[in-house]
A = this chain, B = another copy of it.
Amino acid sequence: MTSSLAAQLTVTTPIDLSAYDSRATTGFEGKKADAAEQLAEMGDELSDLQERLFAGGRSGVSKTRILIVLQGMDTSGKGGIIRHVAGLVDPQGLAISSFKQPTPAELEHDFLWRIRRGLPDPGTIGVFDRSHYEDVLIARVRQLAAPEEIERRYNAINKFEKEFTDSGGVILKCFLHITSEDQKERLAARLDDPTKHWKYNSGDLDERMLWSDYQHAYAVALERCSPEHAPWHVVPSGRKWYRNWAVASLLLDELRNLHLEWPDADYDISVEKARLAGL
């Protein structure tokens, strides 16, 4: 019996990101050409389970909600996951939050303030395109906060995520792992393709110059913030088709594990049928 994909991709400590193969296809059986078909098939089940989740939230009978946290270096595919995986379910049941450089107003609050505002409501699947982890990643690499404050944040994150999972939340954290070479290829492809020029920003290269600092900051964050109820998954993302397949599979497994039932009617069905018949 093979272990679940989640177990296979869950980060193990101590963490050495350079030991992970970005082009691995862990857990995937079949040929690359099969991945799109498998993804479409998963889409039908994801869509069904998402509707059950949504029904539970809408009916007020369940507080269950899912938060997908996407982190990764530029070009690792956070947007691709939203388009190709989150895009498989009803957009009414999605709450997508993209966390960019904090605004002055956001900076006046604790770093988790804007994050809490983006949390999904019961029945909803939230997707964080970047997240509170930026506050221990770019903030650490670029020294945007004092070392003691960065230090404080790891525990604050663990506490925050625990509150979320204790109150009916399920959290799925995916680090989209690519190598510096993968990124170089993808940035070059963006510069070569007029339909992708808008995705490129010359600031991307400033961040790229700090690659090893970022890898270190990621390793620390993944090591310190990966408790059993909210583990990090290292998703090999050198192959886009595998990355999409893997995150869809992880999400599907989370949804299956919830054993979601359709909510019961909170009205008398026969009474309503009789009323309707008369109208």
Using A188-B276, A269-B191 as known contacts, say yes or no to A198 and B262 having CB atoms under 8 A apart: yes
Residues on B with beta carbons closer than 8 Å to the beta carbon of A205: 272, 275-276, 279
Q: How far is the CB of A202 from chain B (nearest CB, A)?
A: 5
Q: Are B82 and A272 in contact (CB under 8 A)?
A: no
When A184-B276, A205-B279, A276-B191 are in contact, do A269 and B197 touch as well, CB less than 8 Å?
yes
Segment at the interface with B among A1-9, A83-91, A106-114:
A83-91
Are A59 and B272 in touch, CB under 8 angstroms? no
- Chain B residue numbers with a CB within 8 Å of A198 are 55, 58-59, 262-263, 265
What is the minimal beta-carbon distance from A103 to any residue of chain B, in angstroms?
A: 15
Annotate A42-77 by CB proximity to B: 1 below 8 A, 0 otherwise.
000000000000010011000000000000000000
Copies of this chain, count: 2
Contact with B along A246-268 (1 / 0, CB 8 A): 00000000000000001111010
Measured CA separation A188–B91 after assembly (Å): 26
Q: CB distance B264 to A197 under 8 Å?
A: yes
- Among residues of B, the one whose C-beta sits closest to the C-beta of A194 is B262
- How far is it, in angstroms, between the C-alpha of A92 and the C-alpha of B96 when the chains are bound? 7
User: Taking the complex as formed, is A208 at the interface, i.e. its CB lies under 8 A from any CB of chain B?
Assistant: yes
Alpha-carbon gap, A9 to B262, bound state (A): 37
A202→B272 CA distance, assembly (Å): 7
A20 at the binding interface (Cβ < 8 Å): no
The one of B89, B200, B262, B267 in contact with A265, judged by C-beta atoms closer than 8 angstroms, is B200
- For residue A105, CB closer than 8 A to chain B, the reply is no
**Interface presence of A176 (CB below 8 A):** no
List which A193-244 residues lie within 8 A (CB) of chain B.
Answer: 194-195, 197-202, 205, 208-209
Q: Which residues of B contact A92 (CB under 8 A)?
A: 79, 82-83, 96, 98, 129
**A278, closest chain B residue (CB):** B205
* Residues of B close to A279: CB separation below 8 A: 184, 205, 208-209
In the assembled complex, A172 has its CB within 8 A of some CB on chain B: no
Question: With A82-B92, A92-B82 in contact, do A200 and B272 touch (Cβ < 8 Å)?
Answer: yes
Q: Known pairs A82-B91, A191-B272, A197-B264. 4 more at Cβ < 8 A? A: A191-B276, A205-B275, A205-B276, A209-B279
A residues touching B (Cβ–Cβ < 8 Å)? 55, 58-59, 79, 82-83, 86-87, 89-92, 94, 96, 98, 129, 184, 187-188, 191, 194-195, 197-202, 205, 208-209, 262-265, 267, 269, 272-273, 275-276, 279
- Which 6 pairs show the lowest CB-CB distances between chains A and B? A197-B265, A55-B198, A83-B90, A91-B91, A198-B263, A59-B198
